[in-house]
């Protein structure tokens, strides 16, 4: 199948989606021939796929330097970043070397950021192995690590040279992570595509049952929608912010519980319910549409309520959101299913009420 | 006087050079009005200039957040970077805030890199207060921190919004730092402008005596030359590498002695003598021109010989240079005074001999 394309001038790149791409040396060859390629991954993913990827890269003419990082959100930290940089320097990787991110969103965010800053920037390839990474984080060039004061507070826009999404890797994904990925698929529907929302409502069972045709369609449509937004607003000066639907609340949930307690997609799921609630209270969304938001999230087996943290803590944690402008919180609201808007002039009382209405 | 301009499309910016610019609120106003501005500086520079800069920024409508970092090359490290990020987050700086780098090359490199990665990139202004920073490091968007395995190994290309160089700040510069800055001025002549070399040979005494007219001319001509190169090759895919004349050897000197033992300009000075020696031995430069290189460096009170480290250590340290490509060292050679070239196919024996000929 033809790859999708993220259209960004001389930084345009293809997204390959299919079954069995992981082993395909030809897929890697245009980028890696006679280069050093540092494959950044974690122990779990390495045990499943590293050998196969390494063999394909070597067939394509690369010198492979495996770099293992710890598992989980806590890997998005200065210490891990320094260890990746150190491993590249120890292996004599230069400015012409590449980083290949093999894993989920954490690996992609961290490895992508390492590529952004190693010797002021080298190329990298995303090989996402989780649904969340395939439908969202591997596309669009956002890379980052976390700071104790907030998620993704340190990072860069650094586009990959290619995204290679092998949907066969989803076979090994734990159920909980599959559902967390579905949260971002659903998000793309809510903010951009009403027909896709209809499709998701009809096919959520197939996705949960890992039907490969359904999963391939979901990955492809999500990437298409995201690629269009990124092409229009790479550095999130406007439109791209709508992809953060549910994320302002979601980041507060993740930070409030400690990163990794809830998966990112789980926090975003509850965050989307809060944002839909806020949309209703602000008058932009009908109650029955907000009910459809909550119902689809519930059918996906995702949380429709946030953890029971004090409302003040939610508000405090939301203040460090990157969408804060001139000290004012800004929110992505729905104006209907498949239509989103960025709003910065909201009554703080409505924000409190919306959180209160959707905590456990 | 009209500002110079670094021409880079929508990332173009002015370089203001003059006396008394530090206090000029109008100079800052276009960038800082009703924004938070984190002024990153060190204790010594803060005691001299922070109050004046803060007053001017506040007159221009900014909210000022001073951020003090430690002095010296050791500040270019993960820990300092984290503290700057932390200070911005603690002061509720968002994506619309700015960083202003007030100080020398270390402050500019670190603060610029913090701006490059804070919330995936915010704007920054360079207010260089050393000669080295005014003639070189504040222009061109190279930002970085050091890694134990090599200098400037982690960084980004991130262009400032403006450079404001107040040559009156050079009055307070220690002699040793003045000379270190002159090393980079001289470098610009050697690689790009034979007439400027002649001028420097005739005026080196005036520069050392801090004649303001001579200093202003040296800053202006250096910035002009550098701006042309940066405009032609922002990300150093080719031409810009010539600005690293003397730096491959120089970085080895700095790393070998421990960063900060020799000033960057001192290491580059000895490195230029080694590179000129290598140019002669490779056959691209006449011996009498290499003698002029060494003589001008000596007249500037800069070292013409590297520290007595084992030759093998020099070679080892040079291997982590960012110009290494496909495992091969590359060097900037002179083809005459004012004309440089990048060469990657040198006989390693000549490299050893050139180092040996110019160590103490």
The complex's ipTM works out to 0.91
Place of tokens 């897929």: A27
Residue A75 in this model has a pLDDT that exceeds 70: yes
**Strand A63-69 with A98-103, pairing:** unpaired
Domains and CATH numbers, chain A: 4-171 (3.40.50.1970), 175-357 (1.20.1090.10)
**Which chain B residues contact residue A327 at CB under 8 A?**
92, 94
Question: Which are the contacts of A166, defined by CB distance < 8 A and separation ≥ 6?
Answer: A18, A19, A20, A21, A22, A127, A129
Decide: helix, strand or coil at residue A183: helix
When CB atoms are compared, the residue of A96, A148, A155 closest to B117 is: A155
Cα gap B199→B147, rounded to integer Å: 38
Cα gap A179→A297, rounded to integer Å: 9
Model confidence band, residue B325 (pLDDT cutoffs 50, 70, 90): low
A212 φ, ψ (degrees, to nearest 5): -65, -35
Inter-chain touch B119–A322, beta carbons under 8 Å: yes
Instruction: Determine the pLDDT at residue B313.
Output: 95
Do residues A182 and A296 lie in contact, with contact meaning Cβ atoms separated by under 8 Å? no
Inter-chain touch B154–A117, beta carbons under 8 Å: yes
Cα gap B332→A225, rounded to integer Å: 47
Inter-chain touch A319–B92, beta carbons under 8 Å: yes
User: Shortest CA distance to A54 belongs to which of A41, A36, A39, A32?
Assistant: A39
Q: What mean pLDDT comes out for the span B9-26?
A: 95
State the best of A9, A154, A344 to mutate against chain B, taking most chain B CBs within 10 Å: A154
Nearest-CA distance from B145 to chain A in Å?
10
| Catalytic residue check, B335 | no
**Which chain B residues contact residue A230 at CB under 8 A?**
none
Residue A324 near chain B (CB below 8 Å): yes
Model confidence band, residue A325 (pLDDT cutoffs 50, 70, 90): low
**Which chain A residues contact residue B147 at CB under 8 A?**
82, 85-86, 89
Find the catalytic residue in B177, B234, B236, B266: B236
A127 φ, ψ (degrees, to nearest 5): -120, 80
| Catalytic residue check, A299 | no
Secondary structure element (H or E) that encloses residue A210, with its range: none
- pLDDT tens for residues A83-137? 999 999 999 999 999 999 999 999 999 999 999 999 999 999 999 999 999 999 9
Mean pLDDT, rounded, of chain A: 95
Q: With the C-alpha atoms ordered A175, A180, A182, A183, is the resulting torsion angle positive or negative? A: positive
Decide: helix, strand or coil at residue B306: strand
Alpha-carbon torsion, ordered A153, A158, A160, A166, to 10 deg: 10
B33 φ, ψ (degrees, to nearest 5): -55, 130
A261 φ, ψ (degrees, to nearest 5): -65, -55
Q: What mean pLDDT comes out for the span B270-279?
A: 98
Instruction: Determine the pLDDT at residue B321.
Output: 67
Model confidence band, residue B324 (pLDDT cutoffs 50, 70, 90): low
Inter-chain touch B120–A319, beta carbons under 8 Å: no
Decide: helix, strand or coil at residue B42: strand
Residue B90 near chain A (CB below 8 Å): yes
Instruction: Determine the pLDDT at residue A259.
Output: 73
Do residues A112 and A81 lie in contact, with contact meaning Cβ atoms separated by under 8 Å? no
Instruction: Determine the pLDDT at residue A324.
Output: 65
Instruction: Determine the pLDDT at residue A72.
Output: 87
State the best of B61, B88, B94, B150 to mutate against chain A, taking most chain A CBs within 10 Å: B94
Find the catalytic residue in A27, A35, A188, A251: A251
| Catalytic residue check, A236 | yes
Nearest-CA distance from B318 to chain A in Å?
11
Question: Which are the contacts of A212, defined by CB distance < 8 A and separation ≥ 6?
Answer: A19, A167, A168
When CB atoms are compared, the residue of B95, B155, B322 closest to A322 is: B95
Q: What mean pLDDT comes out for the span A157-177?
A: 97
Tokens of B116: 């490059």
- pLDDT tens for residues A249-265? 998 999 899 877 899 99
Cα gap B197→B191, rounded to integer Å: 10
Find the catalytic residue in A73, A177, A234, A236: A236
Q: How many other CB atoms are found less than 10 A from the CB of residue B276?
A: 29
- pLDDT tens for residues A193-220? 999 999 999 999 999 999 999 999 999 9
Q: What mean pLDDT comes out for the span B63-78?
A: 95
Secondary structure element (H or E) that encloses residue B174, with its range: none
| Catalytic residue check, B158 | no
Place of tokens 């996705």: A207
Cα gap B200→B194, rounded to integer Å: 10
Residue B328 near chain A (CB below 8 Å): no
Tokens of A181: 């990925």
Question: Which are the contacts of A333, defined by CB distance < 8 A and separation ≥ 6?
Answer: A275, A278, A279, A282, A284, A285, A340, A341, A342, A343
Model confidence band, residue B312 (pLDDT cutoffs 50, 70, 90): very high
When CB atoms are compared, the residue of A156, A322, A325 closest to B117 is: A156
**How many beta-carbon pairs under 8 angstroms link A with B?**
109
Beta bridge partners of B164: B16
Catalogue the E-assigned strands of chain A: 4-6, 13-18, 36-42, 63-69, 98-103, 123-128, 142-147, 150-157, 162-166, 331-336, 339-343
Inter-chain touch A121–B157, beta carbons under 8 Å: yes
Secondary structure element (H or E) that encloses residue B151, with its range: strand B150-157
Residue A298 near chain B (CB below 8 Å): no
Model confidence band, residue A328 (pLDDT cutoffs 50, 70, 90): confident
Inter-chain touch A147–B119, beta carbons under 8 Å: no
Q: How many other CB atoms are found less than 10 A from the CB of residue A341?
A: 15
Instruction: Determine the pLDDT at residue A82.
Output: 97
Q: What mean pLDDT comes out for the span B11-27?
A: 96
Do residues A234 and A157 lie in contact, with contact meaning Cβ atoms separated by under 8 Å? yes
Residue B287 near chain A (CB below 8 Å): no
Question: Which are the contacts of A65, defined by CB distance < 8 A and separation ≥ 6?
Answer: A36, A37, A38, A39, A87, A88, A91, A93
What is the pTM assigned to this prediction?
A: 0.92
**Strand B63-69 with B123-128, pairing:** unpaired
Q: What mean pLDDT comes out for the span B175-197?
A: 98
User: Shortest CA distance to B113 belongs to which of B131, B128, B99?
Assistant: B99
Do residues A115 and A124 lie in contact, with contact meaning Cβ atoms separated by under 8 Å? yes
Cα gap B140→B244, rounded to integer Å: 13
Nearest-CA distance from A2 to chain B in Å?
31
Residue B82 in this model has a pLDDT that exceeds 90: yes
Angle at which helices B247-257 and B311-318 cross, to 10°: 110
Model confidence band, residue A329 (pLDDT cutoffs 50, 70, 90): confident
End-to-end CA distance of chain B: 45
Nearest-CA distance from B288 to chain A in Å?
35
Find the catalytic residue in B76, B179, B188, B247: B247
Cα gap B313→B122, rounded to integer Å: 39
Supply the DSSP string of A224-288, one letter for each residue: HHHHHHHHH-TT-SSGGGGGGTTHHHHHHHHHHH-TTSS-HHHHHHHHHHHHHHHHHHHTSS-HH
């Amino acid at each position: 199948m033809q790859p999708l394309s993220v259209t960004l001038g001389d930084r345009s790149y293809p997204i390959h989606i299919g079954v069995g791409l992981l082993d395909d040396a030809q897929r890697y060859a245009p980028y890696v021939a006679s280069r050093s390629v540092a494959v950044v991954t974690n122990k779990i993913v390495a045990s499943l796929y590293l050998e196969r990827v390494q063999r394909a890269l070597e067939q394509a003419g690369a010198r492979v330097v495996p770099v293992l990082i710890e598992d989980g959100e806590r890997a998005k930290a200065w210490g891990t970043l320094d260890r990746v940089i150190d491993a590249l320097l120890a292996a004599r990787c230069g400015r012409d070397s590449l980083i290949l991110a093999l894993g989920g969103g954490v690996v992609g965010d961290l490895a992508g950021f390492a590529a952004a800053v190693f010797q002021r920037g080298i190329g990298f390839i995303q090989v996402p192995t989780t649904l969340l990474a395939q439908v969202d984080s591997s596309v669009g060039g956002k890379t980052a690590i976390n700071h104790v004061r907030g998620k993704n507070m340190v990072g860069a826009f650094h586009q990959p040279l290619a995204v290679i999404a092998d949907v066969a890797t989803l076979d090994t994904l734990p159920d909980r992570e599959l559902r967390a990925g579905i949260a971002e698929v659903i998000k793309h529907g809510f903010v951009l595509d009403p027909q896709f929302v209809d499709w998701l409502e009809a096919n959520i069972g197939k996705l949960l049952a890992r039907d490969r045709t359904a999963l391939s369609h979901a990955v492809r449509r999500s990437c298409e929608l995201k690629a269009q937004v990124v092409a229009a607003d790479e550095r999130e000066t406007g439109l791209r912010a709508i992809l953060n639907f549910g994320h302002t609340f979601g980041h507060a949930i993740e930070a409030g519980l400690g990163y990794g307690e809830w998966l990112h997609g789980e926090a975003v799921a509850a965050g989307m319910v809060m944002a839909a609630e806020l949309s209703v209270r602000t008058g932009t969304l009908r109650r029955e549409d907000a009910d459809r938001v909550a119902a689809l999230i519930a059918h996906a087996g995702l949380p429709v309520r946030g953890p029971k943290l004090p409302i003040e803590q939610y508000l405090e944690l939301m203040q460090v959101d990157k969408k804060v402008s001139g000290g004012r919180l800004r929110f992505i609201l729905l104006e209907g299913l498949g239509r989103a808007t960025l709003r910065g002039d909201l009554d703080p009382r409505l924000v409190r009420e919306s959180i209160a209405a959707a905590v456990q």
